[in-house]
Amino acid sequence: GNSVTQMEGPVTLSEEAFLTINCTYTATGYPSLFWYVQYPGEGLQLLLKATKADDKGSNKGFEATYRKETTSFHLEKGSVQVSDSAVYFCALNQGNKLVFGAGTILRVKS
């Protein structure tokens, strides 16, 4: 079946540092790809998505590009803030459900 692999965390960065969280996937066909974020004590929020190859999803300064050739959807942000500290989940849709990666904890220090 389809699967998603994310880089292991936690990732600890200083404020204003550049962020990359790697995500690769295995899928039949061409699923839509998603990044969800879970802030401490809160539920999952959709951060961004891309529905086809070479699409770039972006939101709140975060970006990710759907790379079919490398089966990747890496999350990037040019300058992180303390408020970005959260758990980030990469996911793809498989029929009626989302398949999630294990999640990556991001900690941003001031």
Partner 1 sequence: GAGVSQSPSNKVTEKGKDVELRCDPISGHTALYWYRQSLGQGLEFLIYFQGNSAPDKSGLPSDRFSAERTGGSVSTLTIQRTQQEDSAVYLCASSSPVVRETQYFGPGTRLLVL
Q: Rounded CA gap, 71 and 31, in Å?
A: 11
Mask of contacts with partner 1, 90-109, x by CB under 8 A? -x-x-xxxxxxxxx------
Strands (E), the chain: 3-6, 11-14, 19-21, 23-26, 33-38, 44-50, 56-59, 62-65, 75-77, 86-94, 97-100, 104-109
Closest approach of Cβ 97 to partner 1, in Å? 4
**Is residue 51 within the footprint of partner 1 (CB under 8 A)?**
yes
> Which is closer to partner 1, CB of 2 or CB of 72?
2
Q: Rounded CA gap, 26 and 5, in Å?
A: 8
Q: Between residue 23 and residue 42, which ones bind partner 1 under the rule CB under 8 A? A: 32, 34, 36, 42
Interface positions with partner 1 (CB under 8 A):
32, 34, 36, 42-46, 49, 51, 89, 91, 93, 95-103
